[in-house]
């Protein structure tokens, strides 16, 4: 047992020895002599929840982070005890609880290797000011241990040696290492000795994480209130840790409509209507694909939510309909602050129904935002969320707006030092009444949730699309997100790259940055390089503050315009690949972007790589993050990869130089991959094409690829109206086989396959489709051969002479 007098002197309290033990099905309770209770719940064989009470009693068990759909159940559970410990065994883990100190250590149940152990473990400090405790946990950090996750932190991928704070904050023009910023995702993954585990500290108060910063051998996390309540998630693969965390906190409730994965154009602000129309027309004139146009706060009447400035937008419904006819979806911003104005029906109704947040002693929470003095709905109250959802009826059902963008929901308040509500503001917290200290980090999440339910209802039978700025763990169930107010600098391009990767490994895959930078004006070169990165983020939107000049693809001259078009076209061609990755994400919790460490944790070289990432499962990307570059050095993970442009094959596991002039970037395709491609369209659904391209990257051996498809909107896919094609490739010296297994009842418009075969080691002499010899319908291009299969097939068999 550790007796730490120094810590005691600082006012810390510690559990004493265990005097009671009780088991209730999947939950164990250990009670100490000084009335501390440790509750251990076996969620799954590899997921254990630890929860501590210091007063002999737990709070009501309620969480916004954990989804009701989380998987539960284990295959094995055995509890034994010896002189010093209680020993809990599942099929994956052994957890020992020390009788004298309540300290926990966790081992792999199969090879008995220690995965994680408490240093001091749980301890706390009583909070005189607010009551309750400051709850703390300290764990041993092993020498080679690395740490990843925590959402949007603008730092390199590996968190070791750093300390962080989680408190969602409006952070205009944040920079590298600014902390905290917009999101609070108190979840990290650790890797040590090739075993990965994760910790999700489900506490919505201001939380802190220290990854061996203060003390080299200790990692700790603590919160300014609430309970020590964390989930230990074992891999040993990082991919499984992230998937299990995503299972706990939830996957997106539905696939996004495919248009939401297209290219989006935004600015603060496009108005009046003629300006909006001129922007959308230029996209079509220049043939740069685009699916969505955004209206920022100036579309409203005096920034009153759910109103329109009729001078600038005389007939919103007509405009939205006309935009839709040109293939543009309209997305509008909605902020939480409601203007104090008794003539304004939204304000009046919320006031009458008592929906606004109040201070501790009863006055309303008044704060200044864009509309001037505002009150703020308490989205933590179910009735208020229900009301808020209802407000979207006209916008969505009648006017035809397709997406809603929730901003300022940290909540941001202007002209006050802490940029937000004061601590004493009261919240319903779904019946668990509390102060803003507890509700702050989930306020924006609950707003986005209410918005999502409104859109879901009124967009039906179409799918909703929501974007939020503030988020807590679990927000990914309802909405996409962006990184907030970044800056048009090269450093910010690298930050955006890191943030998107980090969000993906934190369970939030539907994310992207303001392409080109929000504050300040990018040079054409920076804009082009940012587009190149942005097409590989699931949310792909250009946005800027607009006060430094224009930021549309064509404002930087012909050369840049052509480069932007070229890359946006690649995004549109790869839409079926991205859609498939999204499908894997919502079904299996697989992150859409994979940092190299997540892709191949066994290779220690990947543990500190920040720039390169794998998009989906098979495309390796590395953005150029410096001016005047003709290429860059990058690490290629193990295995063989094709250069996307030259089709040259590279053996990975090493750093290489890659040429990439301004019109190119390093992109590699995994050997054996079958990459599906749609034809270029100016917007999703523009063309009703009858053929799809399969880019096949030959491999001597076997490889599996998948292609998911459905109607691209609506919910029929949930009833089986989807198609999941599994391709299995077998490459031999003089023979090549591609089998296709199709699942689901959806029939796509295409039934023709253009199969491009890269690096096939022989010249095709004959072709069999489903065991029947067919006439050779073939063309050649450099090293690549191409054949067209004009029907659905189960097996394509190619032979050399």
Q: Residues with catalytic annotation?
A: 407, 410, 485
User: Closer CB to ligand MIG, residue 187 or residue 370?
Assistant: 370
Distance CA 368, CA 338 (A): 10
> Kindly report the CA angle at 21 between 16 and 27, in degrees rounded to 5?
115
The reply to whether 271 sits near ligand MIG by the rule CB under 6 A is: no
CB of 265 to ligand MIG, least distance (A): 13
User: Closer CB to ligand MIG, residue 542 or residue 575?
Assistant: 542
CB of 484 to ligand MIG, least distance (A): 5
Query: Is the link from the previous residue into 478 a cis peptide, with omega within 30 of 0?
Result: no
Residue whose CB is nearest to ligand MIG in the complex, by number: 268
User: Closer CB to ligand MIG, residue 297 or residue 614?
Assistant: 297
Residue 202: DSSP 8-state: -
Distance CA 272, CA 312 (A): 4
CB of 485 to ligand MIG, least distance (A): 5
The dihedral built from the CA positions of residue 670, 159, 444 and 122, taken in this order, carries a sign that is positive
User: Closer CB to ligand MIG, residue 151 or residue 484?
Assistant: 484
CB of 518 to ligand MIG, least distance (A): 6
The number of beta carbons lying within 10 Å of the beta carbon of residue 346 is 19
CB of 297 to ligand MIG, least distance (A): 4
CA-CA distances (angstroms) from residue 218 to 12, 138, 160? Answer: 17, 7, 11
Distance CA 11, CA 124 (A): 8
Distance CA 246, CA 566 (A): 34
Q: What is the CA radius of gyration of the chain?
A: 27
The reply to whether 485 sits near ligand MIG by the rule CB under 6 A is: yes
User: Closer CB to ligand MIG, residue 438 or residue 541?
Assistant: 541
Pick out residues in 530-549 that bind ligand MIG (CB under 6 A): 543
Long-range contacts of 215-218 (CB under 8 A, 24+ apart): 216/141, 217/119, 217/140, 217/141, 217/142, 217/143, 218/119, 218/138, 218/139, 218/140, 218/141
Site string for ligand MIG, 461-480 (x = CB under 6 A): --------x-----------
Site string for ligand MIG, 586-625 (x = CB under 6 A): ----------------------------------------
Say how many residues touch ligand MIG, by CB under 6 A.
11
Distance CA 495, CA 397 (A): 38
CA-CA distances (angstroms) from residue 632 to 620, 626, 740? Answer: 14, 9, 38
Rule CB under 6 A: choose which of 151, 198, 226, 484 binds ligand MIG.
484
CB of 294 to ligand MIG, least distance (A): 9
Rule CB under 6 A: choose which of 297, 399, 448, 755 binds ligand MIG.
297
Pick out residues in 396-415 that bind ligand MIG (CB under 6 A): 407-408
Distance CA 515, CA 532 (A): 10
User: Closer CB to ligand MIG, residue 209 or residue 370?
Assistant: 370
The reply to whether 309 sits near ligand MIG by the rule CB under 6 A is: no
The reply to whether 333 sits near ligand MIG by the rule CB under 6 A is: yes
The reply to whether 268 sits near ligand MIG by the rule CB under 6 A is: yes
**Nearest residue to 799 (alpha-carbon basis) of 773, 781, 779, 770:** 773
User: Closer CB to ligand MIG, residue 305 or residue 560?
Assistant: 305
CA-CA distances (angstroms) from residue 248 to 90, 408, 474, 478? Answer: 18, 27, 8, 15
The dihedral built from the CA positions of residue 60, 66, 72 and 76, taken in this order, carries a sign that is negative
CB of 543 to ligand MIG, least distance (A): 6
Q: Which residues bind ligand MIG (CB under 6 A)?
A: 268, 296-297, 333, 407-408, 469, 484-485, 518, 543
């Amino acid at each position: 047992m550790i007796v730490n007098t120094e810590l005691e002197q600082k006012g810390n309290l510690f559990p004493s020895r265990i005097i009671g033990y009780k088991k209730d099905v999947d939950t164990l309770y250990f009670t100490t002599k000084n009335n501390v209770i440790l509750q251990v719940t076996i969620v799954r064989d590899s997921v254990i929840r630890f929860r501590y009470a210091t007063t002999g009693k737990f709070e009501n068990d309620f969480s916004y982070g954990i989804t009701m759909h989380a998987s539960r159940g284990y295959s094995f559970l055995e509890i034994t005890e010896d002189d010093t410990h209680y020993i809990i065994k599942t099929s994956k883990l052994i957890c020992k609880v020390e009788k004298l100190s309540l300290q926990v250590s966790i081992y792999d149940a199969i090879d008995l290797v220690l995965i994680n152990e408490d240093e001091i473990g749980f301890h706390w400090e009583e909070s005189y000011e607010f009551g309750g405790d400051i709850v703390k946990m300290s764990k041993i950090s092993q020498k080679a241990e690395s740490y990843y996750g925590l959402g949007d932190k603008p730092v390199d991928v590996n968190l070791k040696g750093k300390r962080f704070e989680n408190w969602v904050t409006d952070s205009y023009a944040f920079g590298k290492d600014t902390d905290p910023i917009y999101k609070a995702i108190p979840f990290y993954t650790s890797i040590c000795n090739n075993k990965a585990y994760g910790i999700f500290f489900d506490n919505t108060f201001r939380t802190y994480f220290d990854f061996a910063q203060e003390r080299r051998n200790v990692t700790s996390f603590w919160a300014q209130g609430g309970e020590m309540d964390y989930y230990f998630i074992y891999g040993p693969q990082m991919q499984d840790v992230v998937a299990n965390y995503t299972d706990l906190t939830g996957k997106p409730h539905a696939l996004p409509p495919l248009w939401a994965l297209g290219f989006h154009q935004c600015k603060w602000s496009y108005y009046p209507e003629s300006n909006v129309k001129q922007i959308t027309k230029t996209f079509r004139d220049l043939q740069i694909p685009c699916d969505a146009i955004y209206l920022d706060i100036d579309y409203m009447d005096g920034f009153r939510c759910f109103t329109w400035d009729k001078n600038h937008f005389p007939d919103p419904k007509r405009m939205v309909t006309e935009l839709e006819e040109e293939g543009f979806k309209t997305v509008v911003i909605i902020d939480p602050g409601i203007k104090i104005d008794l003539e304004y029906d939204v304000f009046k109704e919320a006031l009458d129904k008592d929906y606004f947040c109040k201070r501790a002693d009863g006055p309303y929470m008044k704060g200044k935002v864009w509309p001037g003095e505002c009150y703020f709905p308490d989205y933590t109250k179910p009735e208020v969320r229900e009301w808020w959802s209802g407000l979207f009826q006209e916008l969505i059902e009648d006017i035809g707006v397709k997406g809603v963008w929730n901003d300022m929901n940290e909540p941001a308040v202007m002209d006050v030092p802490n940029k937000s509500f004061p601590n004493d503001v009261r919240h319903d917290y779904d019946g668990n009444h509390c102060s803003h200290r507890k509700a702050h980090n989930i306020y924006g999440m609950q707003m986005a949730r209410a918005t999502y339910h409104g859109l879901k209802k009124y967009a039906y039978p179409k799918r909703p699309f929501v974007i939020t700025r503030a988020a807590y763990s679990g927000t990914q169930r309802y909405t996409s997100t962006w990184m907030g107010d970044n800056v048009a600098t090269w450093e910010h391009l690298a930050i955006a790259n890191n943030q998107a990767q980090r969000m993906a490994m934190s369970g939030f895959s539907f994310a992207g940055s303001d392409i080109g930078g929000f504050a300040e004006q990018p040079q054409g070169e920076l804009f082009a390089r940012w587009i190149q990165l942005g097409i590989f983020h699931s949310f792909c939107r250009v946005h800027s503050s607009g006060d430094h000049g224009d930021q549309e693809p064509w404002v930087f001259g012909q050369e840049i315009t052509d480069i932007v078009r070229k890359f946006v076209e690649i995004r549109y061609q790869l839409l079926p690949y991205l859609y498939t990755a999204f499908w894997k994400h919502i079904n299996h919790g697989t992150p859409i972007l994979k940092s190299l460490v997540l892709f191949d944790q066994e290779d220690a070289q990947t543990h500190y790589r920040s720039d390169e990432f794998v998009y989906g499962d098979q495309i390796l990307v590395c953005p150029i993050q410096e001016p005047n570059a003709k290429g860059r050095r990058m690490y290629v993970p193990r295995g063989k990869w094709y250069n996307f442009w030259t089709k040259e094959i590279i053996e990975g596991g090493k750093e290489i130089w890659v040429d990439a002039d301004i019109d190119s970037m390093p992109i590699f395709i995994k050997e054996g991959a079958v990459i599906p491609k749609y034809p270029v369209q100016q917007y999703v659904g523009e063309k009703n094409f009858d053929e799809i391209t399969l880019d096949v990257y030959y491999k001597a051996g076997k490889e599996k690829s998948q292609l998911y498809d459905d109607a691209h909107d609506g919910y029929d896919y949930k009833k089986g109206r989807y198609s999941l094609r599994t391709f299995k490739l077998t490459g031999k010296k003089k023979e090549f086989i591609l089998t296709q297994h199709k699942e689901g009842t959806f029939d796509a418009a295409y039934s023709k396959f253009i199969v491009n075969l890269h690096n096939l080691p022989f010249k095709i002499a004959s072709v069999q489709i489903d065991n029947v010899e067919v006439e050779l319908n073939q063309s050649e291009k450099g090293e690549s051969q191409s054949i067209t299969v004009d029907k659905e097939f189960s097996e394509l068999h190619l032979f050399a002479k």
